[in-house]
Each structure stands twice: as structure tokens, then as C-alpha cells.
Amino acid sequence: MRPEDGELLDRFLDALWSERGLSERTLAAYRSDLAAFARWLGGRGLLAARREDVLRYLAHRHAAGARPRTGARLLSALRRFYRHQVREGRLDEDPTARIDGPRIGRPLPALLSEAEVERLLEAPDVADPLGLRDRAMLEVLYATGLRVSELVGLALHQVALREGWVRIVGKGAKERLVPLGEHAVDWLERYLREARPLLVRADRLTSLVFLSRSGRPLSRQAFWQRLRGYGLQAGIRRPFSPHTLRHAFATHLLDHGADLRSVQMLLGHASLSATQIYTHVARARLRELHRRHHPRG
């Protein structure tokens, strides 16, 4: 890749970070996709690319086995990059204009029934400090719909137990208040009273709520491993992850009459379209209930 292209990528990614607050992981994905296109162009450079180059590159990736979702992500990265160059005055025309992305179906999230969630919540051994921590984490996750990164990064000052709220700073540095509910408050209070003092180390003072056995921050991967074990204990054989509880939170709210806009606010989605997938989940469940229980289903 030419040094000039490297500088263009740096400026573009800096602009994305400052304007939209994208995560390091997302920025790294943009850099990887755009750098691969720059290498494919050879010595011509990113600013010399034309519409035909973009189409041939997408066709090349498709022939190499890229899935439609990958092609859509590549086109999205290219489109955002070239629109930025036009806004900055480096290009007069966007080479990605009038290029349609591949049609992809958005996958429905994995579903857990309310009975399965109850069994999962009851799986940890709360007589053990780590089990009590895990029970509190599961209760908070299901009660709030937090992302797992928000859960493991939760700090003491973000939790207002008396009021029953947590204050979350999510994607794009957007803040939201999420109610905990009585069960999550009770388990969180018990964890903070009985288990967390046993996990804190004098030489590793931290403001994080949930700690590992060594008093260090708990990683997403470690929590996922614990969750998988609890899933097996609960008799849940199909694959699921911490995000599955976020899906269960949203779906069960809708099942019990919550409106879509409220669920959007609780999940921290930037747009309502990201939340609308749960309406498909709720409709599918209603159809199944109708089929099973209606005399003419």
C-alpha cells in the first residue's frame, strides 16, 4: 500500500473516531477492509479508483468465497471512505455511487424461553463467592439488556441501588439510564455485601463492580465461558452467548406488552430499525402459540 493511501486512511479513521465515536475494533475492521482494497489496486492509489474498480473488486472477493454479508460490509466501508473524500474536496465523484449492495437477510437472534432463562439464573452455586457474583451478573444482564462489555465494565458509581437504576455510557459515548428491577437489585446488593469484599485485593483496588477470583477485572471471554457452563447445567443444548440474554430481555419485554420505542431506549440502539428485528421474533412466537393452541391453528 502506498504511503499516501496510509495517510488517507489515518485521516479518515481519525474523523470517524472524533465524529462518531466508533470503537477501536470497528475502526480496525475499516482499516483492514480499505487496506486490502488499496493493495488490490496496486500502485494506482485509492483516489484513482473508479466505479468499475469497485465492482471488479467486489466480484473478485465474491469469486474467492466471500459471503453476501462480507460483501455488504466491504461496500459499506468503501462507500463511507469515498463519501468522506468527496466531502473533504479530494474527489469530485464518489466511485461507489449507484452501486447496490448484495441482498442479505438479517438473522433472527437466538431465543431463550422464559422458563429457560429461569433455569439459567438458578444455575450458579450462590454459596460460592464466584457463583454469587455470576448470579448477580446474570440477573443484571437479563434485567437490563446490557451489552456484555457494558456489564463487565460496570463501575460502582454507575449503580444507584436505592433508586434501582444503572447509568450506562454505550456506543458513541451515549448515556442512558436503565432500571434494574427488584430481583436484580436484591442479588446485586447481596453480591456487594457478601462476595465482592472477598474478591477485592488491597494491592488491586478497583471501582469495577464485578471482579475475578484474583481481584482483577473480569474479561468478556471469562464470563462467556462461565455462562456456557451454566447453560449446560440448565439443559440448554443449543449455542448461546451473553448476547442471547440481551435478546431475551428485549423479546420478553415485547411479549409482555412493551412498546418498541421504549425497548430501543433501554437497549441503547441509535435507531429504531436496529430494534425492529425483535418485532419479527415476537410475531414468530405469536404464530407458534396460535398454531399450537387455537382449535383451528
Domain 114-293 is of which CATH architecture? Orthogonal Bundle (1.10)
Q: Where in the chain is the domain with CATH 1.10.150?
A: 3-87
Model pLDDT for residues 69-79, shown as the tens digit of each residue: 788 888 889 99
**Is the whole model's pTM more than 0.95, yes or no?**
no
Residue 150 CA to residue 266 CA, distance in Å, equals 13
Residues with a known catalytic role: 147, 171, 243, 246, 269, 278
Lowest average pLDDT, out of 21-30, 51-60, 63-72, 260-269, goes to 260-269
Contact 52, 14 (CB under 8 A): no
| Tens of pLDDT, residues 163-182 | 999 998 876 667 888 889 89
Q: Which of 185-189, 231-235, 288-292 has the highest mean pLDDT?
A: 185-189
Percent of the chain at pLDDT > 90 equals 36
Strand partners, 167: 177
Burial of 143 (0-12, 13-18, 19+ CB in 10 A): buried
- Kindly report, residue by residue over 94-147, the tens digit of the pLDDT: 999 878 766 555 555 567 888 999 999 999 999 999 999 999 999 999 988 888
Per DSSP bridges, beta strands 165-169 and 175-179 are antiparallel
Task: Report the top-level CATH class of 3-87.
Answer: mainly alpha
Give the span between the Cα atoms of 33 and 78, in whole angstroms. 8
| pLDDT for residue 131 | 97
Angle at 74 (CA atoms; ends 73, 79), nearest 5 degrees? 100
